Amino acid sequence: MLPLGLVIPLLIPLLPLTFAHNIYELNTEYAGPTFFDEWGFFDNFDNLTEGSAIYVSAQVGASEKLAFVNEAGNAIIKVDNTTKLKDGAFRNTVRIQTNAVHGLGSLWVADMVHVPYGCSVWPAWWSSAPSWPASGEIDTFEYVNLMPNGQMALHTLPGCTLDDSPSNKFTGLINSTDCSFEFNSNQGCVVQNTNSTAYGEGFANAGGGVFVTEFGVDGISIWFFTRSAIPATLQNGTGDINTTMLGTPVANFPASTCNLSFIEPQHLTLNIDLCGAFAGDPTIFAQTCSGSCYQDYVIGPPSTYDTAYFEIKSIRTYHDPLFPNAIVIPPPPNITQAAPPIFTGQPFAAAPGVQGNIGWALICSLFAILFLGLTEGLL
């Protein structure tokens, strides 16, 4: 029989395995002169959402000052606001995504000074898995034209829903609860962020703010904090983040109604589209803008896009120590397979690491075996 004084010290270090799933350690920081080093540029026209945009390469982005780091050390991603276009042309803009993918047990924090806005403008800070849209998408920030609310959403295969019961606590307003990309033209399950400092001119006037996205074992939660209200746990960029200190999220998509297997490891993405299926939808466009989305804006005065830019202080990614492979860079594809042709970053092979709740199940099993072995020795 093992002495009790020996067993207790052995068990104490294991207690966090059963309870701690809200502490995240810093994994990667994208900031300063090296901000763009680990991102791929979508070097093509918008062939996914019918936008009037050409997403430029890293080389064009740098030469045309559409993707660069300014004198303040902040990353700028913007729409071309100097070129007068002819009828039928698309306007240059930027879409980038991380080489790394982020799975269960990861968290990402974006500290921004300015987000794009204006008629015809469709910016987003979001993530998706390689087999989009079937393998899941998380929208942390999405906004079109001059709409009164930003939005957060999930897009998945059929079977995932947003829990709209009173027990699911969040501050945003539910717009739709079916997350399936087959429902209502891929609307997704949408929560509106009614904080006027979370988008558009209000965001800029407030000095920007911080978006936090947690891909945790209990589900996916999204927070926004305006500059003057950033909590202490987020202010030390090199320290751990405890999500229990963040308060009630703006949007919460619990695993109880959306199994996390619907969301595969995600590439983080920033882009600014123009018009397209959302901002350019005639009904949506007419709610806050006049004229024609394409004729009056895309090929209209270039100065229309003076406010169509992201200014980003940093993007930091974190992982739960219990999920050491939550954030990984996928390996190159087999040489017999053709790599996707439209990205200039790392090829997007399926990522290794934790899928769904498998990793957590293994941890629980190991803990149970060890615990039973120790208690059997006490008997």
Separation CA 220–CA 265 (nearest Å): 13
| pLDDT tens-place string over residues 82-125 | 999 999 999 999 999 999 999 999 999 999 999 999 999 999 99
For residue 47, the model assigns a pLDDT of: 84
Average per-residue pLDDT for the chain: 85
Separation CA 15–CA 56 (nearest Å): 50
Residue 349 has pLDDT above 90, yes or no: no
Q: Quick one: how far is CA 2 from the chain centroid?
A: 49
| pLDDT tens-place string over residues 241-263 | 999 999 999 999 999 999 999 99
Separation CA 113–CA 258 (nearest Å): 33
Quickly state the pLDDT bin for 184 (edges 50, 70, 90): low
| pLDDT tens-place string over residues 35-80 | 999 999 999 998 889 999 999 999 999 999 999 999 999 999 999 9
239-265 exposure pattern, b = at least 16 Cβ within 10 A, e = fewer: eebebeebeebbbbbbbebbebbbbbb
Residue 227 has pLDDT above 50, yes or no: yes
| Active-site choice (38, 71, 137, 182) | 137
| Active-site choice (38, 142, 214, 264) | 142
Q: Which of 160-164, 288-292, 328-332, 343-347 has the lowest mean pLDDT?
A: 343-347
73-105 exposure pattern, b = at least 16 Cβ within 10 A, e = fewer: ebbbbbbbbeeeeeeeebbbbbbbbbbbbbbbb
Residues 6+ apart with CB under 8 A from 242: 22, 23, 24, 233
Quickly state the pLDDT bin for 187 (edges 50, 70, 90): confident
| pLDDT tens-place string over residues 129-151 | 988 778 999 999 999 999 989 99
Mean pLDDT along residues 289-316: 98
The class of domain 24-356 in CATH terms is mainly beta
142 is catalytic: yes
Better-scored residue on pLDDT, 118 or 11: 118
Please, are residues 222 and 107 in contact by the beta-carbon 8 Å criterion? no
User: DSSP string covering 313-337, please?
Assistant: EEEEEEE-TT-TTSEEPPPPPPTTS
Sheet containing 91-93: order of strands: 44-45, 53-55, 91-93
For residue 255, the model assigns a pLDDT of: 96
Q: Which of 15-19, 44-48, 202-206 has the lowest mean pLDDT?
A: 15-19
Write the CA distances from 240 to 32, 114, 315, 341, 351, integer angstroms. Answer: 21, 25, 15, 38, 25
Quickly state the pLDDT bin for 28 (edges 50, 70, 90): very high
For residue 183, the model assigns a pLDDT of: 66
| pLDDT tens-place string over residues 158-183 | 999 999 999 999 999 999 999 988 76
Beta bridge partners of 191: 152, 174
The pTM score is 0.83
Mean pLDDT along residues 317-321: 97
Q: Helix or strand or coil: residue 260? A: helix
Q: Could you tell me which of 120, 251, 125 has the C-alpha nearest to residue 176? A: 251
CA atoms within 13 A on the CB side of 296: 11
